[in-house]
Chain A
């Protein structure tokens, strides 16, 4: 079953075309990551899906509803973590999460949610006193407290320390295991690789590649680089058959100094994808 279906989505701000014909199909229960450089159109796309922005053209269906005609019942089924928020500065973490829970028909236990995002120690603190990463974790808490079927996260882990990021990943995996559909944008390739079933790379308002993190941009079938050192110095060969090459070079088992066989990392693939789109 599809959670999100998008066809020919376009959005212009006056003369600037921010989204230039995007098609998407996101299945229920999937974790879908959107990557792309600054200004690529990620936030614009996601906020159109959330019903926060209008579109110039194209068709959009989110949980069977056009977000431009969102109802309260539909809103109760989705969770949103915006790219930035500075609201509720004078309230405490616990007050805010508890209050937000009252908006929803079947919310999660606020205390459990605060625990899940690792803010238990800060539950009594005013929001204006939180650090950047803690504030971000609160935003995540507010995104999930309504127990959404579909969760949007726009750069959720900006400002997280490495440990908080790992905790967040575990949280996303738990939600996904419960059947929550998750759409997240990120600049962190390791995050996309760790979480996403599917990745789309957007550049200049268009999707330039899509696939699983392992196969993105033909990564799994890309040529491998074999490097080693011989008496002429460092050598490096790009090949489709690295195993045969190593076998041949080593003459049946001789050690090759500093031998490495590498394929492009997700980051290499990503950089060449967005480089080519520019």
Chain B
């Protein structure tokens, strides 16, 4: 007697991964907390900051609002990668999503493909939203030439990858979604202050600049300023230049560190749960 049904082939990993991506996106954009605190928050801060400070930088014709728009675009994609995954994966762990997937013929790689789809789409949407707010309210213009578009693309990619991996790592330290909200937002908000997003770098004390320079936030924000502002604004950076080479090195370095941390912590938590 044969009792094993002929079931045909298992669905491909990519097929399952893309199906997960669709479901991840639905869940993200239907989740009010996520949409308000992760997705819309940077735009709200931008509107507030840009309306409070309305001066222009001497001899450049660039307004504070334009500078905030560029920097907040950086903060925005960090929200949709770092906060999104840090909170989302902790939630998946505590509400049983991960356990259900482990009990089904779903490889972990398909779960991660789903998360990549989520981060890419949400981050692009975030970037579009912040640029649209900037263009509507604060004279923001799209990158002026191909070189600047290229800068925007690689800063976006390296920034979202590094911050996604760090988000995955930090999710392992959260007991549940609420505690994940706290332990991700604390470093995020703190770093926004010392990274020239809320407050221009030139007015910060040296020790704050040093702390900010260690983490991705400053470099993503600075990279976006390089892509979206005229070169005359480079003089406003502490180094007096856009430091694109250093930006690529630091963000690339965080991608590698993030990957290692993420693999180690995921392995440890997977073991602890059983």
A-side residues, CB < 8 A to B, are 1, 28, 50-54, 72-73, 75-77, 80, 82, 84-91, 95, 99-100, 102-106, 126, 142, 146-147, 149, 179
Contact = CB atoms under 8 A, between A and B. Distances in A.
A106 B5 contact: yes
Interface of B: 1, 3-5, 7-11, 15-16, 19, 22-23, 26-27, 30-31, 92, 95-97, 99-100, 102-107, 274
A106 B7 contact: yes
A95 B107 contact: no
Contact of A52 (B7, B26, B274): B274
B96 A84 contact: yes
Contacts of A86: 95-96
Contacts of B3: 1, 28, 149, 179
Nearest to B28: A90
A51 B103 contact: yes
Given A85-B96, A102-B19, A106-B8, A72 B107 contact: yes
12 contacts: A52-B99, A72-B106, A75-B106, A76-B7, A80-B100, A85-B95, A88-B97, A90-B31, A95-B23, A102-B19, A106-B8, A149-B5
Contacts of B105: 72-73, 75-76, 103-105, 146
Contact of B10 (A28, A54, A76, A142): A76
Contacts of A51: 102-103
**Interface majority SS on A: helix, strand, loop or mixed?**
loop
A87 B92 contact: yes
B7 to A, nearest CB: 4
Contacts of B27: 88, 90-91
A84 B27 CA distance: 20
Contacts of B96: 82, 84-87
B9 A99 contact: no
A126 B16 CA distance: 22
A87 B274 contact: no
Contact of B26 (A75, A85, A87, A90): A90
A265 B74 CA distance: 69
A51 B104 CA distance: 11
Contacts of B102: 51-52
Nearest to A85: B96
A77 B103 CA distance: 11
Nearest to A68: B274
Contacts of A73: 10, 105
A53 B116 CA distance: 28
